Amino acid sequence: MNSKNFSSSRIIILAVSAAMIYFGIERGELSTIFAKATRVCLECIGLG
C-alpha cells in the first residue's frame, strides 16, 4: 500500500470512528452503558 492510500485509509477510519461515536451518543447509548457500568454486572461475575 503506498503512502497516499495509507493516509486515505487512516482518514476514512478516523472519520468512521468519529461518526460512530457521535451516532451512538445521539442514539442514547451512553445511558445504557452507564446504567450497566454502575451496577454490579451479575453475568460478568458468574452469577448470570
Partner 1 sequence: MKRRLIQLAATILTNPHVTNFFNGRIYRGELKNFCAPGLNCWSCPAATLSCPIGALQAVGGYGKFGFYAAGIIILIGLILGRAVCGFLCPFGFFQELLNKIPSPKIILPKKILPVKYFFLIIFVLILPVASKFGEPTFCEYICPAGTLEAGLPLIATHEEFRGVLGNLFLLKISVLLAVIFLCVVAHRFFCRVMCPLGAIYGLLNKFSFYQLNYNAEKCVHCEICKKNCPLDLNPTKDFASAECIRCGKCKKVCPKRALT
Q: Which is nearer to partner 1, 4 or 40 (CB)?
A: 40
Helix spans in 1-48 (H)? 3-26, 29-37
> Distance between CA atoms of 11 and 23, rounded to whole angstroms?
18
* Residue 5 makes contact with partner 1 by CB under 8 A: no
Q: Which is nearer to partner 1, 4 or 43 (CB)?
A: 43
Number of residues that bind partner 1 (CB under 8 A): 33
Q: Which is nearer to partner 1, 4 or 37 (CB)?
A: 37
